[in-house]
Chains A and B, each alone.
Chain A
Amino acid sequence: MAGALLEVDTIVAGYGPVDAVRGLSLTVNEGEVVTLIGANGAGKTSTVNAISGVLRLRSGAIRFAGERIDTLQAHAIVERGVAQVPEGRRIFPRLSVLENLQLGAYLRKDREIQKDLDWIMELFPILRERRPQLGGTLSGGEQQMLAIGRALMCRPKLLLMDEPSMGIAPLLAAKIYESIRQLSERGLTVLLIEQNAHLALRLANRGYVVETGSVVLEGPAATLLGDPRVRKAYLGED
């Protein structure tokens, strides 16, 4: 497929005896924002963890820029340009904000790390203010910005975001979504996992609806927003 940056091909993966993901397929083209929506436990997080190499596949394949990545270790996948903003943010609690950001650039050896640090602190000015503070002392919304900033520090070609609005005040969530829009305008490709279908579908180009580990509905975001099944199940309308 021309322009496909990420291809997830009928993958099966899970923890213990249960398969959380059962034959899920999706594609993300270069420059797109694609969202994966679904209820809690639908297999969304397992899908991004499989893409990042943190969860091994039982079958299926994942290709990034044409190359099989499902057999690679997590660090090798980051090296190829896939970064993840994990669910629950997972920032390093006893490292400073600055150190958290520097660790995002762990695999980089170029000389533009400082430039990117400045850029991220422009994107999220609160991080500049909180630079010497320990990550664990930030509020939930600030931690989310830090997690996004850390992921951006590796200069990803594809950014996986797992529920960036979870547990965050609506005003801050809107701010974070605005920053995702800005990043997308700069050409970053994004795969966005959300329970908040409304937020996600208004931002994304395309969307997939996931139920019990596989895709039940897919299409342009605008179409999904108008689909009565989506409106009923995920937007809380009758």
Chain B
Amino acid sequence: MTNSEVLVQQLIIGLSNGMIIALIALGYTMVYGIVELINFSHGDLFMLGTFLALTVVGALGLGEPLDGQVITWGVIPLLIIVPVFCAAVNWTADRLAYRPLRNAPRLAPLVSAIGVSFVYMNIGLFWGGLPMEVFNMGTAPAAPKDFTALVSYDNLLGDSNITLTAKEVLVFAVTTPLLMALTVMVKYTRLGRAMRAVAQEPTAARLVGIHVDSVIGVAFILGGALAGFASVIYALYNNTIYFQMGFRVGMDAFTAAVLGGIGSLPGAVLGGILIGVIRAFSDQYIATEWTNVVVFAVLILALFFRPSGLLGSTAAEKV
């Protein structure tokens, strides 16, 4: 492999992981933008999504692909069931744990979110112990699980040194339309306008007749659904899941949201992609064990020069 081929290869890997991180980061940033809560359970919600995905794979008996063909009909039910599940769980957590604390000091819902995170993690541990074939009959609940390879590893570029598989194509085919749909929704629809209004000036939003609690609920539903999509493509892309993965992936996504400017949707996407690419480059050119150091060093440097993140709003506002 030539140097430039290595570079392109790492770029492909970095962008793929970055798009997945971006989807999760959007869930952090959307909720923060609207209720100023850092939803620490979001990464673990993503983890639960991967466990549901594997359960569905087991229940529907979806197996390995034949002759390197993508079993699209196996991916489609996952892309419907898992986002719906994650959206419902996220909405329920808001309804039961965060909404009653809306007027409490900000630390209270934050601690609740950490609590919810532990609840999810332990549900994941329990889930991995279920006596199903995909979970090795539940013999080692905490051990990483192999996620059935529904998507082919074959190189679409034939004999090229650069590998581009259907997995990468799947990542982009799922994330790109989602990001476009979210942008259009937030920018041009009545609901999107209401979401921005609640985020910027909640009292005025109530005074023009916006049902603020419902709009906040929608933010949790959208963020949850995006995490659900991320669960499916992450599992299909990386093929390993375990009950504590929500912490690490969630930390990457949260970092991405802060790097891009928390509260900013384009910022979350940019942050996600940057973190993905920096990770890949650091793994390749520095060393895997230094990658976390590199990621957080970049974050600290970026915040030093732009404290509200790369795309965060810095403009002073007249009140």
Contacts and interface: CB of A to CB of B under 8 A. Distances in A.
Contact of A78 (B190, B193, B208): B208
The 6 closest A-B pairs by CB, nearest first: A78-B209, A90-B204, A107-B209, A74-B206, A136-B317, A93-B317
Interface stretch (A35-43, A58-66, A80-88): A80-88
A136 B207 contact: no
Nearest to B207: A84
A75 B318 contact: no
A45 to B, nearest CB: 12
B196 A54 contact: no
A102 B188 CA distance: 12
A98 to B, nearest CB: 11
A106 interface: yes
Given A136-B315, A136-B317, A143-B318, A103 B208 contact: yes
Contacts of B197: 92, 95, 103
B112 to A, nearest CB: 23
A92 B192 CA distance: 14
Interface string B196-213: 110011011111111100
A79 B207 CA distance: 10
A47 B12 CA distance: 60
A103 B191 CA distance: 10
B256 to A, nearest CB: 22
Interface string A171-198: 0000000000000000000000000000
Interface string B157-192: 000000000000000000000000000000000100
A92 B207 CA distance: 12
B319 A88 contact: yes
B193 A74 contact: no
Interface string B285-318: 0000000000000000000000000000101011
B6 to A, nearest CB: 42
B57 interface: no
Interface in A118-140: 136-140
Contact of B200 (A53, A92, A138, A139): A92
26 contacts: A53-B206, A54-B207, A74-B209, A75-B211, A78-B207, A78-B208, A78-B209, A79-B209, A83-B207, A83-B208, A84-B207, A90-B204, A91-B204, A92-B196, A93-B317, A93-B318, A94-B196, A95-B193, A95-B200, A103-B194, A103-B210, A104-B208, A106-B190, A106-B194, A137-B318, A138-B318
A75 B315 CA distance: 31
A139 B319 CA distance: 10
A217 B204 CA distance: 31
B239 to A, nearest CB: 42
A137 B196 CA distance: 17
B200 A94 contact: yes
Q: For chain A, which range describes its interface: under 10, 10 to 19, 20 to 34, or 35 or more residues?
A: 20 to 34
B91 to A, nearest CB: 19
Nearest to B190: A106
A151 B207 CA distance: 8
A214 interface: no
A95 B204 CA distance: 13
Contacts of A92: 196-197, 200-201, 204-205
A53 B317 CA distance: 27
A106 B208 CA distance: 7
A73 B204 contact: no
Given A86-B203, A93-B318, A95-B197, 20 more contacts: A52-B207, A75-B210, A83-B208, A91-B201, A91-B204, A92-B196, A92-B197, A92-B201, A92-B204, A93-B201, A93-B317, A103-B193, A106-B190, A106-B209, A136-B318, A137-B318, A140-B318, A150-B208, A151-B208, A154-B208
Given A106-B194, A143-B318, A94 B207 contact: no
A19 interface: no
A152 B128 CA distance: 57
A94 B313 contact: yes
Contacts of A83: 207-208
B268 to A, nearest CB: 16
A86 B208 CA distance: 11
A142 B197 CA distance: 19
Nearest to B209: A78
A136 B209 CA distance: 21
A99 interface: yes
A95 B313 CA distance: 13
A73 B315 contact: no
A138 B201 CA distance: 16
A90 B205 CA distance: 9
B267 to A, nearest CB: 14
A54 B203 contact: yes
